[in-house]
Amino acid sequence: MMNNDNKSELLLNVKGLRASIEGKEILKGIDLEVRPGEVHAIMGPNGSGKSTFSEVLAGDPAFEVLGGTAFLDGVNLLELSPENRSHEGLFLSFQYPVEIPGVSMANFMKAAINAKRKYFGQDPFNAAEFLKLMKEKRAIVELDSKLASRAVNEGFSGGEKKRNEIFQMAMLEPKLSILDETDSGLDIDALRIVAEGVNKLHTPHNATIVITHYQRLLDYIKPDFVHVLYKGRIVRTGGPELALELEERGYDWIKNEIDAAEQS
Amino acid sequence: MNQYSKLYSENVDSLGRRPEALEAFEARVPQLDRVFEPETYAVNLRRLKLPVDAALSFKCAVPAVSASPALIVNDIFQPARRLPDGVTLMSLRAAAELHPELIPASLRKREEITAESALNDLLWTDGALIRIGRGIHLARPLQLVNILSAPMDLLTFRRIVIVAEPDSDASLLICDHTQDSERNYLVNELIEVRVEQGARFSLDRVEESSPLTVRRSEMHVSLDSDAKFKSASAVLFCGDSDSKIHVDLLAPGAEAEINGMVIASGEEAPKFHTFIVHHGEHTSSNQTFKFVADGQSNCVFDGLIKVMQSARFTEAYQSNHNLLASSEARMHAEPALEIYCDDVKCSHGATTGQLDPAALFYMRSRGIPEDEAKQMLMEAFLADVINSVSIESLRDRLRHLVERRFSALGSGHDSCANCVALNP
């Protein structure tokens, strides 16, 4: 009975998730549970599968899912197209946001917002409603008024690209946001703006997964849980102190433990 | 003997004798055989008034460009209701009879006469003469609408002669439409444009013709010193459409910008051939051509920049980028440079590929449905050509037409049912 109640509260429930790209298995059985209001950090050495995990959850067709399940608020993500995963409340902030010359931010966001409204049987926003929403949300990450007419990410600085990701997150109001290496390529001021934006958007009803190499971001976005991903599995889970320990000791001690266990 | 030389010999008297044209044409007959299928087109040699009034039923999809477009219905000219001062826009046939002094000699050198233009020399019956007077600046574009509409399969020969006199500044929009898409049409068109010293002339084109339309268009442009010519062509619907654009930059300061965009689906076969020839020093040219090829379309771009020995300090650029939207669409791209002079800046680049999967996934991850995301990316791909259109109101209209054109791709309907010209 107790167990069941817990289950229904899970915002994200991933079990045994395995995935490959071009025949190479990257995720080898990931288990992760995230509840509303929580912030999780996923850390790990390069090549451990952190970005792959986020991309597989978001439905990147480059990957093949080999097994396991992933439910978002009770909805089976793996059966949905990337666009419907977005509508259901999943948001991925890309490590490398894509430049799309010729598509303005206004048209891009309008298409996204109105597709979501249509999915839920709502009328599309008209131009005035939409621009008002954009204005309100871009203030969260201090993006200027030229944003609407600029092409998506084209000519944006590294910091602007990441702020633009958080702006899109603000527009789409996801249940679960996965921030993939949002701190990479950011100077300290941009990092602060991005982190403050994320914290402003945090509520008791949504959750955030922060994927990062470094402890630095976690000084700004405080995690409730820290997981270490290595060789396609979560090999350690702890509280915020685990991130500090990793900062101090590096990943080698975990790698050595896992590699030794594998060999024996 | 080819059916068209036969046709000519039977009807030569009704046209008046054009012995040089006949000789030039006969020498090139073998090049034409493939063009004329089926071999049952009618030619309106007697200038009969066909029982159609395309002009009445036609609604232009590009409004607000010109208050009063001139029409060429098949090959019969219908004048604009009013014209700005200093502008001649009249039937070429009438001009040849009444004011032959207004029609300049042909721009084509002997070696530049193709089989198609030789046939046009032989059989042209009407078209338009446009002259922009010296120093005249037009605030609004002129518009010429070509409409094909006939109760039988029809072969038409039209010719458009344009002279932009020194220091004039004008733009012209030419639209091509098919009214009755059940018919086979073959259009043979020759356009000659002289842009005289210090004049600016821009020519934008929109083609929306039916799958059964065969179009052979050839344009020759000559630019004198400090003359500027700009052209953007949009092919939204076509059958077998072949456009040759030949530009001679004759004297210092001449500049040409030649752009084109094509959206092709079904079995459409749009082709562009450019020949940009730099003769004078300090001349410049720039070309951008973009194709989106879907269905089983068969597209061609071959573009040549030729820099003559005399043309020092030339700047000439060409780019051709193509998107293949289906696995059965074909794109033939053949960019070429011929340079006979050392001190020049020239480049060309051609790419053919598919939509960027990273961009597509990024858009879908934000909730934009796959088809809509693809359409947005294809529109974005064409954006720079659309933005190069000289006529501002046409740019907006073109964005809308392109959007509708791409919607038609997704729905899988017959392209004619979606033709914006017929269903405005």
Q: Residue A112 corresponds to which tokens in the numbers above?
A: 């996204």
**Mean pLDDT of all residues in A187-198:** 89
Q: Count of H helices and E strands in chain A?
A: 9, 12
Residues of B near A (CB-CB distance < 8 A)? 356-359, 361-370, 372-373, 376-377, 379-384
Residues of B in contact with A60 (CB under 8 A): 361, 365
ipTM for the complex shown: 0.95
d(CA B243, CA B258): 12
Across the interface, of A109, A111, A172, the residue whose CB is closest to B372 is A111
Grade residue B34 by pLDDT with cuts at 50, 70 and 90: low
Render pLDDT for A33-73 as a digit per residue (tens, 0 to 9): 999 999 999 999 888 999 999 999 999 999 999 999 999 99
**Which residues of chain A make contact with B372, given a CB cutoff of 8 A?**
111, 115
Asked whether the beta carbons of residue B367 and residue A112 sit closer than 8 angstroms, the reply is yes
Q: Which residues of A touch B406 (CB under 8 A)?
A: none
Query: Residue B129 above 70 pLDDT?
Result: yes
* Parent domain of A28: 2-263
Which of B231, B301, B232 shows the shortest CA–CA distance to B273?
B301
CA distance linking residue A172 with residue A151, whole number of Å: 19
pLDDT tens-place string over residues B97-123: 999 999 999 999 888 888 889 889 888
Higher-pLDDT residue of B124, B219: B219
- Our count of domains for chain A comes to 1
Task: Assign residue A117 the CATH number of its domain.
Answer: 3.40.50.300
Whether the per-residue pLDDT at B63 is higher than 70: the answer is no
- Which chain A residues are Cβ-neighbours of B361 within 8 angstroms? 58, 60-62, 82
Q: Supply the pLDDT for residue A33.
A: 97
Mean pLDDT of chain B: 86
* Mean pLDDT score, A197-210: 95
pLDDT per position as a tens digit, A90-125: 999 999 999 999 899 999 999 999 999 999 999 999
- Identify which of B4, B416, B5, B351 has the alpha carbon closest to the alpha carbon of residue B212: B416
CB atoms within 10 A of CB B108: 17
Indicate if the pLDDT at residue B9 is higher than 60. Answer: no
Residue keyed to tokens 């429930």: A13
| Full strand arrangement of the beta sheet holding B200-208 | B76-78, B70-73, B142-148, B169-178, B200-208, B228-237, B255-264, B284-293, B315-324, B345-353
The conformation of residue A78, written as its DSSP 8-state character, comes to: G
Question: Residue A86 and residue B366: Cβ atoms within 8 Å?
Answer: yes
Angstroms from A230 CA to nearest CA on chain B: 26
Report whether pLDDT(B244) > 60: yes
